[in-house]
Structure 1
Amino acid sequence: MVIVLLVWCYSLNIFLSQAPVKIGATYMTLNNSFYQIINEEVKKKVDQNGDILYTRDPGLSVTKQCQQINNFIKLKVNVIIINPVNGESHKLQAVLRKAHQQGIRIVVVDSQVSDAHDVDTTVVSDNYRAGALDAQNIRQNNERARVLVLRHWNALSVKERYRGLEDQFKKYPQYQIVKNVETLGQTDISLKKTKETLENSTNKYDLIVALDDQSALGALAALDELGVKRTIPVYGIDGSANMKRLLASDQDAQATVAQSPIKLGQKSIQASYKLVKNQKVARKIIVPVYLLTKKNIKNYDLSGWQ
């Protein structure tokens, strides 16, 4: 009986050690190739290890994202990788707390949650520097500027970019943020709102800063549709393939700050597996960014993400 019991325990231990790791991933929206690339990198590693990945798209809805996390809890995932729709949502933070209290590891990617108590690690680009780099380039190329800012204010990463931009302008009154416009980071909304702003405003804007490339693309399309004859430089942040191509071909596309969804995905899944093994992971992992302009774009690959 003792021998049989020992054999059974040994077999059970082998079975448990070979059980696949289950990971739930939810991104604010998957209609943006940036998040598709992050998820592709996560999936590569999960498939390589023979584990299970559940990927969900809440379509910019906090309610749907909370429902998805509750479903991950029911599926008994080991890790949740989340790009929060709204990092300041108490509802979202409560469901993350519920998951964490049940032993599920939490990895936040590309943005933050305002209360990170129940987050094991946050993997982000250097968003403050991204905003600062755009501002520095503006100052280098313009003696003064009245700026229209396009932003997705629910994303804490965007608030960091805005802070970097704003801090660079504070000591220089000749650079003014005249108006902020909400775009939800969507090209179609940005196109519509930019057109409306330029058509109906008495303000003359010298340039446009979009705090994500999706919004920058909408702004550039709006300028084309309006047939604006003077050059209005448009800045972005992301380093998307579309924006890089426009830097090489569109007179209004001025610069973008490149971040790397490939590295964000790789570092997120690396952290996830370390957490499953109870290995130490930094509370915050920051991925560097760099400026792409009309002058240096010829040195970079235009075909995809970095």
Structure 2
Amino acid sequence: MKFTHAKKQPKNNSHRRVPLLVGGELFAAVFFILLVWLLFIVNPSQKSQVKIGSTYMTMNNNFFPVLNEQIANYVEDHHGKLYNRDPALIVDKQVEEIDSFIAKGVNAIIINPVDGNSDKILAALHRAKNKGIKIVMVDSQMKSDRDADCVILSDNYKAGQLCARHLLTHKKHAKILLLEHYSAYSANNRIQGFTDTIKQAPNRKKFQIVKKINTYGQSEITLPLVEKALKQKPKFDTIMALNDQAAVGALAAIDEAKIKRKINVYSVDGSENMKKLLGVNPNAIATSAQSPINLGKASVKTAYKLIAGKQVKHKIILPVYLITNNNINNYNALGWQ
């Protein structure tokens, strides 16, 4: 008998492919979710991005843009977000800026206050503090540091002292005009260091403060005010300016008034504009140099430490040194130190 072999039917694997397909899709989905999670962990821009607000009394002073540049670079390198604002010496505007930082949910505010005596600014900073925002004051301070986590300053008092010591060493007498900014604590400390040193000198009676002018540390405000003072009595032969901007305005006023007598001008900052005049303009004598670069770096690093919950000193003081018309060749006259 001949047996006929039935044809083998192809195996139907559809019942096996379905589970394999489902398993593959599941694996892909899990892999995708894991990848997104890893990216979230690794990429700080996606994971609780650090946000910082910075506001200075004015950006119309090269000192503050240079200081802020250090902060901006650090924040960018750490994938954070920086909001920089310019109150242009207006208290109410700076208060609005602080409130906008609060609304944006910043982690820290770096502030150079427009007015160290302003209750409005203090109240705004208190509102920020109550929201858990870290407060770093830079280059100046408020009448109360209750809400400041850290205050970072140049040694402003010593800056004034250095100018006074140079004057006392190189002159036997002087009639002095002070160029001030009454609402800025840093400016007041510089002038205080200068006047205290004069008052403590053995020959202090020969060094007289004959006039004071509130210049807000601005060249364009200082120039006409000093021009006016030059036409009035009492006469002065020395100027102590709170900063280089005021000093440059004073030097321009002396030149425009075509004053024949020498008027020695001292200041604080160590800016490029003032350094270029030392050794060139006979009236430009010295500037106590500070470093906006170091102030900016110290401020932003401190802010990040505070955000991370680390302990920092409540006050950090950075050193200053005197650049004169005699030693200017030892320093770089281009840019800031």
TM value normalised by structure 2 = 0.86
Which aligned pairs between 1:174-185 and structure 2 lie closer than 5 A?
174-185=206-217
1: distance between equivalents of 2:220 and 2:72?
29
Select which of 79, 86, 103 maps to 1:57: 86
Extract unaligned runs of 5+ from structure 2.
1-29
Structure 1 residue aligned with 2:275: 244
Aligned to 2:154: 125
Indicate whether 1:225 and 2:246 are aligned.
Answer: no
| 1:88, distance to aligned residue in structure 2 (A) | 1.0
Q: Could you tell me how far 1:18 is from its partner in structure 2?
A: 2.2
Identity %: 47
2:243 partner amino acid: D
Q: 1:169: Cα distance to partner?
A: 1.2
User: Equivalent residue for 1:272?
Assistant: 303
Is the counterpart of residue 192 in structure 1 residue 221 in structure 2? no
Partner residue in 1 for 2:7: none
- AA at the equivalent of 1:163: Q
CA distance, structure 1, for counterparts of residue 242 and residue 58 of structure 2:
17
**C-alpha distance in 2, partners of 1:96/1:48?**
27
For the residues of structure 2 that align with 1:39 and 1:248, how far apart are their CA atoms? Answer: 30
What are the superposed Cα offsets for residues 49-84 of structure 1, whole Å, 9 maximum, x if unpaired? 110000000000000000000000000000000000
Partner of 2:98: 69
Q: Does 1:106 align with 2:135?
A: yes
Describe the superposition over 1:179-204 as per-residue Cα deviations: whole angstroms up to 9, x where unpaired: 1101111101110100001112x212
**Matched position secondary structure for 1:248:** coil
SS at match of 1:97: helix
Task: Look up the match of 1:299.
Answer: 330
Q: CA–CA distance in 2 between the matches of 1:251 and 1:123?
A: 34
Task: Give 2:175's match in structure 1, choosing from 129, 146, 149.
Answer: 146
1:231 deviation in Å?
A: 1.1
Matching residue's letter, 2:290? Q
Q: Residues of 1 paired with 2:55 and 2:181: CA distance?
A: 18
- 2:60 is the counterpart of 1:28: no
* 1:261 aligns with one of 292, 295, 302: 292
Shift in Å, 1:33: 0.4
Name the CA distance, whole Å, in 2 between partners of 1:290 and 1:173.
27
Q: Rg larger in 1 or in 2?
A: 2
Which of 315, 318, 327 pairs up with 1:287? Answer: 318
- Per-residue CA deviations over 1:64-123 (Å, capped at 9, x if unaligned) read 000000000000000000000001101100010010011000000000111101000001
Q: Match of 2:101, SS?
A: helix
Please report how far the alpha carbon of residue 165 of structure 1 lies from its aligned counterpart in structure 2 after TM superposition: 0.7
1:44 to 73, 78, 102: 73
Give the distance between the partners of 1:297 and 1:93, measured in 2 at CA: 40
Please give the alpha-carbon distance, in whole angstroms, between the structure 2 residues aligned to 1:173 and 1:52. Answer: 55
For residues 213 and 153 of structure 1, what CA distance do their matches in structure 2 show? 16
CA distance in 1, matches of 2:277, 2:157: 24
Shift of 1:173: 1.6
Instruction: Name the CA distance, whole Å, in 1 between partners of 2:54 and 2:191.
Output: 27
Distance 1:159 1:229 in 2: 31
Residue equivalent to 2:16? none
For each residue in 1:201-260, what CA deviation from the matched residue of structure 2 results, as whole angstroms up to 9, or x when unmatched?
x21212111110000000000000000111111111100001000002111100000000
Distance in 1 of aligned mates of 2:137 and 2:83: 16
In structure 1, which of residues 188, 198, 208 is the aligned counterpart of residue 239 of structure 2?
208
Matches of 2:63 and 2:92, distance apart in 1: 22
Q: What do residues 247-277 of structure 1 show as CA deviations (whole Å, max 9, x unaligned)?
A: 0211110000000000000000010000010
| SS of residue matched to 1:18 | coil
